[in-house]
Structure 1
Amino acid sequence: MSDFLEGIKRGAKAFKSSLGPSRYEAANIKIVCPHCQNDIFEEGSAQLNTAGASFLNLDWLNKSAIILVCTRCGLIQWFGKSIQKID
């Protein structure tokens, strides 16, 4: 029973750490803020709107990008392809 509880604790800790700021890489290159050289970011997403889809009220058809916000200076970096968490 204690192994089960220990597994639950480890799983909860891993889940919690996956939600917070982290380090990332793109194309096997570590991502670093070009402004302050920080390497810890908050991840988010942003819609890549086009005029035609917006005019027709079809913004949900547009692609989205991954954004990383520097936890030190707030600079936002945009990525059109996938990135990987390295923590």
Structure 2
Amino acid sequence: MGLFSADEPKRYEIGDKQLICMFCSNNTFHTRNEQLHSPVRTFLNLEWTDSTATCFVCSSCGYLHWFMR
């Protein structure tokens, strides 16, 4: 499972709400960080300056839930 965190899937809270998969209602997730690329920064080869988001990947169905702070 090299694309995800090496840890076992876990339960997470976002704010004060438990994260539940929008697709299958599962409540455990793997996490990963992803960069959010913009066309202009990609054209200028400056992707490294783009923001990042935390992705929670459902351990049951694989649905991606993206969050930025």
> Normalising to structure 2: TM-score of the pair?
0.86
The question of 1:24 aligning with 2:12 is answered yes
- Quote the offset at 1:62 in angstroms: 0.2
Q: Stretches of 4+ moved more than 4 A in 1?
A: none
Q: Which has the larger radius of gyration?
A: 1
Cα RMSD over matched residues?
1.3
Other-structure match for 2:46: 58
- Quote the offset at 1:23 in angstroms: 0.6
Structure 1, unaligned runs of 5 or more: 1-17, 82-87
Structure 2, unaligned runs of 5 or more: 1-5
Q: Distance in 1 between matches of 2:34 and 2:58?
A: 16
> Normalising to structure 1: TM-score of the pair?
0.70
Other-structure match for 1:38: 26
Higher fraction of helix: 1
Q: How many residues in Structure 1 have an aligned counterpart in Structure 2?
A: 64
Q: Pick from 55, 59, 66: which aligns with 1:71?
A: 59
Q: Distance in 2 between matches of 1:63 and 1:45?
A: 10
Tell me, what secondary structure is at the counterpart of 2:57? strand
Of all paired residues, the percent bearing the same amino acid is: 34
